Structure formats: structure tokens, C-alpha cells
């Protein structure tokens, strides 16, 4: 190993971080709020904090809620959280909204739909901007769930941005994935496409109060039937965030799924998959940072000029790689 | 989550934009929220008819640097001190508080004695608000 590089590894925590972690573990809400900001910074102090909190994680049920924009994810979560509260569970919510690529700013509006939860000390809702990450979550989302987990929240809900067909990072964070659908969003071919529906553990067909969910349910059933018998057949629950219909059933479905995960040893297997995926991601990011840090701007400029001059980009990239990456 | 980050510069300023009280005129609040977003800030917008407790609770959970209150009902002399008190009750004592609305100058002075950093009246240019927030928001990580 070369000289100590503070971008690598885990640094000894300073006393402030140690104190913050201790307060988080006691469930101190102000400390939880601060810790969530720390993990968003993704620097040495956030790594030190996660190092301290990590041994206290693994107890919460991590529930992902995803779906395209406008299906009612936030309103549904507000109802679900109320149901979980009725069942005596403390709930943390990480609600992700997109960062503007143009300005770096973000308008985070998921709280509007959750305002009835705010008077309840057993609920903590945090809005998070994607800050340039592309998979439907922010990079720090996974660490945010760890903060809630270590603070003793029984259920941690992760709400993705309104996702497209390949923004599936929620699968790397959550144990139970609720895919929210709404009527009239697409035909049967949409249902056959790869994407969200490959990661669903539970379907919520929302806006049942609009009365037109039957077709959506039938389409989903038909699609699931094509896949034959799997070891987990995702239940389809009709919900209405407006009336509260199906909410208890949806909470039941999430619990049944968790029980199945534990019983079938899938919970451990999925944890293993998620840990592996996260390690790969961290390695990728670190390698990329290291490499791009070493490739100097003059070299990149020279290579760019070569591409414009007719050398193909694969060759230029290979040459740069050979020079810097051996 | 696959984007490799650039060497991280300062994190974005986080602002809570809220409307306490009973007036439903949220156009101004939305315009300001949008302007702050376009200036690169993360704006948490909580909508109309918020109680001081809801606002303080949101400020705590979101760990914001700035709380912006929009009040057009005339009840600012009642509502603003209540919001400030609710924030302090929760230990949120290091946020920048700004108020927008129709506030007579004398009352604006009194609000500042209650911990409000600045009062912006109708017709304030957006960049004046943006610049003020940018200069005065507490540096994150401090």
C-alpha cells in the first residue's frame, strides 16, 4: 500500500461522529436528521459514521415503493405508514425526487402528500434528491436506510422517483418491493417488457376509487400466469390512497413477503446479493475516480483531438487505459 | 447509483418553503421555490395551511439550512413567533429564517427581533432573494 489516502477505507471516527452515532442509536430525531445529511455528503465523515452504525443494522424491514410518475406512490405510502403505526411499528421514509441536471437544484414535494404523518413522533420522513444518480434513487439512499435501521425504526420505506423501465436500483436497497400501478397506463405489451415487473414482490393497483382497475389487475394476472409457478407469486392488491381501500391488505402482503423471505432463507440470500452488488458498485466508483484522477486533462484533450481527427474512440480509450491502468 | 461522483463540492443548500396559516395563496411561494431550485438549491415544498408544529417538524426531519415562510393572511405577527418557538423547542436553532409577504415595515423590524433574518415584500426581484439565501445560509458540515 502506498501513502495513506483518506479517500480510501474507513477512517477513525472523530469524537463528534462517535457522539452522533450514539445519539442516532438512541433514536434522537435531531441526530437522525443530521446523520442523514452526513451520509448524503459521501465523504470521510459519512464513511466513519456508517462504520459505527453498520453493526446495529439488519433489523428493519426494508420496503421499496416504486412505479412510474403519477401513480400515487407518496399518497399510498402516507396511508401505509398510518397502517403500520396502527400496528405499533415505527416507520422511517426516504422519499427520493430527481435533481435537475441543468441546475443541480431539486424541488422535493413528496411531503405534501404525507403531512398528516408529521405530528407523529414514531414517523420520520426525509426527502432526498438524486444528485445525479441514474437508477431511481440517490447514491446515499442505502446509507439513509442504515441510519433509520440503526435508530430502531421497524420499517424503512424507500420511495423511488417516478421511474422508467430500467431504473431498478431499488432492488439493491429494499427487501420487499412494492410496484405501484395505476389504471390506463399501457397495453398488454407494456406488461411484457422487461423492467419494473421483474423486481416486484407485491403489486399495488392504485386509484381503485376511480373504478377502472379490473383491467389492469387482469393484465397483471395474465402476465404472471405466463411465468408459471415461481417460489413467490407476487400478490396483486387493489388500493386507493383516496379512500383507504386495500391498505391493510397491502401492509399484510408486505409482512407475508417478509415472513416468506425469512422462512425460505431468501432473506439471507437476498442480503448476500445486495451486499455483493453494493461492493461492486463501490469498487466501480472508486476505480473510476482513481483512474480519471490519474488521466490528466492534457491527455484527455489529446485523445479527444485524435478522435475528431479520425482515430476511433475505442482505440484511443484503450491507449489511455494502457498508459494509466497498466 | 452507478454515477461516479466528481470531487464533491459543497452540498446544495436545503430550503424548506412553507405556508403557515389559513390563506391559500401559494403562487408566490411556488415561484420562490422554483427560483431557489433553479439556483441549484434543494427545496422542500410543503404546501399550504401548515401549522407551526408541522413546519418545525419538517425543518427538523429535513435538516434544512433555511426556512422560508410565505404569509399573505396578515397573521404574520402571530404565526412567525410561533414557528420560531416551535423550531427552538426542537433544538433547531441554527436555521436562517426568511419571510415573504405583505409585511408593514414596522412589523418587519419586530419580526427580525424574533429571529427572522430578512423580510421580502411584494415585487422583490428573485435574484435578491436567491443572493441573500446563498450568502447567509449556514455552511453545511459546520
Q: Among B11, B33, B60, whose Cβ lies nearest the Cβ of A107?
A: B33
**Cβ contact A107–B53 (<8 Å):** no
Calculate mean pLDDT across residues A105-117. Answer: 87
pLDDT, chain B, mean: 88
Closest residue of chain B to A141, computed from CA coordinates: B1
The more confidently predicted of residues B103 and A324 is B103
Our CA-based measurement puts residue A135 at a distance from the nearest CA of chain B, in whole angstroms, of 6
Rg (C-alpha) for chain B, rounded Å, is: 15
The predicted structure's pLDDT at residue A250 = 98
pLDDT, chain A, mean: 88
* C-alpha distances in Å from residue A109, one per residue of A85, A112, A115, A154, B43: 23, 6, 11, 25, 8
Q: Give the Cα separation of A209 and A212 in Å (integer).
A: 8
Q: Among B39, B41, B46, whose Cβ lies nearest the Cβ of A111?
A: B46
**Cβ contact B60–A29 (<8 Å):** yes
Would you call A176 helix, strand, or coil by DSSP?
strand
**Cβ contact A30–B92 (<8 Å):** yes
Q: Among A30, A111, A281, whose Cβ lies nearest the Cβ of B60?
A: A30
Residue A264, pLDDT above cutoff 60 = yes
A270 closest CA partner among A193, A135, A177: A177
Query: For residues B45 and A109, is the Cβ–Cβ distance under 8 A?
Result: yes
Predicted model pTM: 0.89
Model confidence over A132-172: pLDDT tens digits? Answer: 888 889 999 999 999 999 999 999 999 999 887 677 888 88
Model confidence over B42-90: pLDDT tens digits? Answer: 999 988 888 999 999 999 999 999 999 998 888 899 999 999 999 999 9
Q: Chain B interface residues facing chain A, Cβ-Cβ under 8 Å?
A: 1-5, 8, 11-12, 33-34, 36-47, 50, 53-54, 57-58, 60-63, 90-92, 140-141
**Cβ contact B43–A119 (<8 Å):** no
**Cβ contact B54–A125 (<8 Å):** no
Query: For residues A223 and A186, is the Cβ–Cβ distance under 8 A?
Result: no
Amino acid at each position: 500500500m502506498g501513502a495513506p489516502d483518506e479517500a480510501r477505507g474507513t477512517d477513525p471516527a472523530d469524537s463528534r461522529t462517535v457522539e452522533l452515532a450514539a445519539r442516532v442509536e438512541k433514536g434522537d430525531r435531531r441526530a437522525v436528521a443530521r446523520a442523514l445529511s452526513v451520509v448524503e455528503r459521501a465523504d470521510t465523515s459519512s464513511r466513519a459514521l456508517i462504520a459505527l452504525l453498520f453493526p446495529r443494522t439488519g433489523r428493519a424491514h426494508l420496503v421499496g415503493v416504486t412505479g412510474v410518475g403519477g401513480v400515487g406512490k407518496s399518497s399510498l405510502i402516507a396511508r401505509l405508514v398510518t397502517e403500520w403505526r396502527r400496528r405499533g411499528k415505527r416507520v422511517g421514509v426516504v422519499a427520493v425526487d430527481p435533481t435537475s441536471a441543468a441546475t443541480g437544484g431539486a424541488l422535493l414535494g413528496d411531503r405534501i402528500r404525507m403531512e398528516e404523518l408529521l405530528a407523529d413522533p414514531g414517523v420520520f420522513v426525509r426527502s432526498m434528491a438524486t444528485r445525479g444518480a441514474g437508477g431511481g434513487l440517490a447514491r446515499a439512499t442505502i446509507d439513509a436506510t442504515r441510519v433509520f435501521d440503526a435508530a430502531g425504526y421497524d420499517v424503512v420505506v424507500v420511495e423511488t422517483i417516478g421511474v422508467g423501465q430500467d431504473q431498478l436500483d431499488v432492488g439493491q436497497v429494499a427487501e420487499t418491493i412494492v410496484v405501484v400501478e395505476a389504471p390506463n397506463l399501457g397495453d398488454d405489451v407494456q406488461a411484457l417488457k422487461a423492467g419494473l415487473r421483474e423486481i416486484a414482490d407485491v403489486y399495488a393497483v392504485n386509484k381503485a376509487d376511480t373504478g377502472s382497475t379490473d383491467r389492469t389487475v387482469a393484465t397483471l394476472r395474465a402476465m404472471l400466469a405466463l411465468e408459471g409457478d415461481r417460489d413467490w407469486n407476487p400478490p396483486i392488491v387493489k388500493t386507493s390512497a383516496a379512500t383507504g381501500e386495500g391498505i391493510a391488505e397491502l401492509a399484510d402482503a408486505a409482512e407475508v413477503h417478509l415472513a416468506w423471505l425469512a422462512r425460505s432463507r431468501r432473506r439471507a440470500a437476498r442480503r448476500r446479493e445486495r451486499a455483493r452488488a453494493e461492493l461492486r458498485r463501490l469498487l466501480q466508483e472508486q476505480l473510476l475516480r482513481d483512474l480519471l484522477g490519474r488521466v490528466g486533462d492534457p491527455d484527455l484533450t489529446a485523445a479527444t483531438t485524435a478522435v475528431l481527427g479520425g482515430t476511433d474512440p475505442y482505440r484511443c480509450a484503450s491507449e489511455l487505459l494502457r498508459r494509466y491502468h497498466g | 447509483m452507478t454515477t461516479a461522483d466528481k470531487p464533491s463540492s459543497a452540498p446544495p443548500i436545503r430550503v424548506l418553503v412553507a405556508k403557515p396559516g389559513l390563506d391559500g395563496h401559494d403562487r408566490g411561494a411556488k415561484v420562490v421555490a422554483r427560483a431557489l431550485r433553479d439556483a441549484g438549491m434543494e427545496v422542500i415544498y410543503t404546501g399550504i395551511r401548515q401549522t407551526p408544529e408541522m413546519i418545525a417538524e419538517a425543518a427538523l426531519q429535513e435538516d434544512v439550512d433555511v426556512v422560508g415562510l410565505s404569509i399573505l393572511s396578515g397573521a404574520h405577527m402571530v404565526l412567525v413567533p410561533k414557528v420560531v418557538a416551535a423550531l427552538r423547542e426542537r433544538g433547531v436553532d441554527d436555521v436562517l429564517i426568511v419571510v415573504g409577504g405583505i409585511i408593514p415595515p414596522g412589523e418587519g423590524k419586530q419580526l427580525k427581533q424574533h429571529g427572522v433574518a430578512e423580510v421580502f415584500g411584494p415585487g422583490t426581484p428573485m435574484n435578491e432573494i436567491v443572493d441573500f439565501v446563498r450568502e447567509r445560509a449556514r455552511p453545511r458540515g459546520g
